[in-house]
Amino acid sequence: MPASRRHHRALAVFVHGLGILAAVPALPTATPATKVEAAMVAPASPTPAAAEAARKPEAGQRAPAPPGAPGVAATGGVIPVTPAAPAPGMTTTARPGVPRPAPPVTVAVAPAGTPAPGYRIRVRNDTSTPLVTTVRQELPVGSSATAVSAGGRATRPLGRNGAGEVTWRLTLPARSTTTLDTALTATGPGRSVTAPACAYSSDGERPYDCGTATWQAAVPSPATQVTAAQPWRRPPVLGGALAVLLALTAAGVWWWQRARRRRTGFEPTGAAPAAAGHPPYGGGPDAPAGGTVYPRPAAPGPAGRRRTPPAWLMVGVAVAVLAGVVLAAVWTGSQRVAAIDTAKQPTSGAWKGRSATGALGVPLREQAFEFTVYRMSCEPGVAANRRCQATVGVRNVTPEQQTWHGQLQRAYLPGGNWVSTDEDATRLANLGRDVFAHPVSAGSRVVLPLVFTLRGAQQPKQLELRSGVFSAGVRVDVP
């Protein structure tokens, strides 16, 4: 056989073998009928040696896994491969995801219709067993508690810029709702007050659920009076002043033109006087009757001097024109400034969505998530590794499940330095659960603690939270 034909036959056998190997995983599993036929063909009673060999695997072979063992398929022993997590900033497919189970304790906060800031907190236990919980309500900066329902303890703020809190230690009966009331001092006339509240586990560290509300004055505020603009900024006054200046300028120019015409006008015509020693043209005793053939030209008169406008007139016209230009510029600028919408958020450049800034308890929305920071507490002292824990609520406002990452959540210090989330400490605070490894399903909301590890005695002044690398994110000012 020629060498070329041998090579072709070997290649054909190799390709045929690869096809058989590729088709083996796609073979159907054994049906009950096949198992019955196999049992009929097999011997009725195996020998003791064969049974012992079947019970003991040979050396170097793995014992077969039980049918329900995790990670092993029922047929063929195929181990499923878990898809890798997407890179930061990349959204997942349009799957809503599996919502997380509801927390055993829920919190709802509502403002009270009182002249002073007040709140009503409803804490409900949805389980069939009693639960011990710790409820904390954060007080805004500059406010303190004036009345607290039975069992509550108010903590005064530390320092002028600190924030206090009200704490309750409750035992919630099964399937029950407990109502708590608080009254606070106003931070200023006409200012709204936001005070979030959270229910924690018995140790006071793991949040069950949180709620927030903003109190506003119950009495109707007087109608907003529009402050009149300055007289020189009113359009009618500016227009009248500009018209007067133009009229004065036109009158000055007309008066100057008339005076110039008077000074440079022609004198009345008449006989020119004869020069001394010379007879007049065409006359005299010796002059011929018909006059001279070449008369002498008359002596030229004095040349008229060109009049220029007075200096005060030129200065006045220049001042009038300059004043008109300045007034027009001021009026145009004031109109543009008045047309600016102060409530409109600034653009975020190349980021996706718009950035938002707020305080504790205020929901802030960015591209995919709505973040609410309910509480921020730091360990006292100046230790090298001092931890600060933030209780954060995350709501997915998109129709897709979204992933987020710990490296994108930051705590900023007063000097401008920042630290990212300590993922190991955050996992420990969440009872060993990696909150960043599981996507947030569409429309769901989770409340969880985030831990930041700081060095030194500085307290974080702002938290930056975002769903992705290219998201504009939100910024929360913390006291």
As a whole number, mean pLDDT of residues 243-261 equals 77
Q: Is residue 328 pLDDT above 70, yes or no?
A: yes
- CATH 2.60.40.1510 boundaries in the chain: 105-215
Q: How confident is the model at residue 76 (pLDDT cuts 50, 70, 90)?
A: very low
Query: What pLDDT, on the 0 to 100 scale, is given for residue 285?
Result: 54
Query: What pLDDT, on the 0 to 100 scale, is given for residue 29?
Result: 47
Interval 366-398: pLDDT, tens: 989 999 999 999 888 776 788 999 999 999 999
- CATH 2.60.40.1240 boundaries in the chain: 356-477
As a whole number, mean pLDDT of residues 323-343 equals 67
> Domain 356-477 maps to which CATH number in 1.20.1270.360, 2.60.40.1240, 1.20.58.1910, 1.10.1140.10?
2.60.40.1240
Q: Is residue 458 pLDDT above 70, yes or no?
A: yes
Q: Is residue 224 pLDDT above 70, yes or no?
A: no
Query: What pLDDT, on the 0 to 100 scale, is given for residue 442?
Result: 92
Which of 387, 394, 388 minimizes the C-alpha distance to 445?
394
As a whole number, mean pLDDT of residues 78-94 equals 44
Of 370 and 75, the structure prediction assigns the larger pLDDT to 370
Contact 325, 333 (CB under 8 A): no
Query: What pLDDT, on the 0 to 100 scale, is given for residue 434?
Result: 92
Interval 166-223: pLDDT, tens: 999 999 999 999 999 999 988 777 788 999 999 999 888 889 999 999 998 755 545 5
Query: What pLDDT, on the 0 to 100 scale, is given for residue 13?
Result: 73
pLDDT mean across residues, the chain: 74
Check: pTM over 0.85? Answer yes or no.
Answer: no
Q: Is residue 21 pLDDT above 90, yes or no?
A: no
Q: Is residue 414 pLDDT above 50, yes or no?
A: yes
> Domain 105-215 maps to which CATH number in 3.40.50.300, 2.60.40.1510, 3.40.640.10, 3.40.50.720?
2.60.40.1510
Interval 31-40: pLDDT, tens: 444 443 444 4
The Cα 97–Cα 15 span in angstroms is 43
As a whole number, mean pLDDT of residues 61-75 equals 40
As a whole number, mean pLDDT of residues 83-97 equals 49
